[in-house]
Amino acid sequence: MDPESIERKYRRGVFPGRFQPFHLGHLEVVKWALKHVEELAIVIGTAQESHTVVNPFTAGERIIMIRESLKEGNIDLSRILIIPVPDILMNSVWASYLRLFVPEFDVGISRNPLVVRLFKEAGYSVLVPPSFERNKYSSTRIRKMMIAGDDAWRSYVPNAVSRIIDMIDGVKRIREVIGGD
């Protein structure tokens, strides 16, 4: 019997983010969350947007980055759902809108104060994960390194993400996108 299952008091948790890109801090949150929930739905927000400075990658690319990173991290995929969700642009409706795309869930997982509030206003419990060196692991910081030509960004993401970004020539894309904005 899995000794960690004692802690798992929630049936299904939701971990929303934009994951532009998915990094090692996100991976730590996933591992941490799996100690508390039986199943985890990773919600890829702003799914409709890509090829912009803040959202360079498509939802499809982000799905595959996350999936491959979890495989690489030996995470049991049968406990994971990866669900892209386009923006709704009405914050007070957001939690209810999420419920449309995600199977029934009983806990939200986030460090973002607005997201925590929106989950709570909709009646959900919330788990706030530890910070996992947030200053170090930051998608914004990683995108800035890519733009600046600093290859150090690779050390902040799972190998799978680094590999996929190369495959889609993602660093070139983000630089071209800046030129067009």
Q: How far is CA 170 from CA 82, 100, 141, 161, 163, in A?
A: 21, 31, 15, 10, 10
Q: Which is nearer to a copy of itself, 50 or 138 (CB)?
A: 50
Q: Using CB under 8 A, pick the residue from 74, 89, 135, 149 that binds a copy of itself.
A: 89
Q: Using CB under 8 A, pick the residue from 5, 91, 131, 159 that binds a copy of itself.
A: 91
Short-list 163, 165, 160, 156, CA closest to 25: 156
Q: Which is nearer to a copy of itself, 3 or 113 (CB)?
A: 113
Q: Which is nearer to a copy of itself, 28 or 39 (CB)?
A: 39
Rounded Cα gap, residues 35 and 55, in angstroms:
30
Q: Which is nearer to a copy of itself, 96 or 155 (CB)?
A: 96
Which residue stretch of 49-57, 131-139, 142-150, 152-160 sits at the interface with a copy of itself (rule: CB under 8 A)?
49-57
Q: Is residue 116 near a copy of itself by the rule CB under 8 A?
A: yes
Q: Where are the alpha helices (DSSP H) in 109-158?
A: 113-121, 139-148
Q: Is 107 strand, coil or helix?
A: strand
Q: Is residue 135 near a copy of itself by the rule CB under 8 A?
A: no
Q: Is residue 63 near a copy of itself by the rule CB under 8 A?
A: yes
Task: Give, in degrees to the nearest 5, the angle at Cα 31 between 6 and 44.
Answer: 125
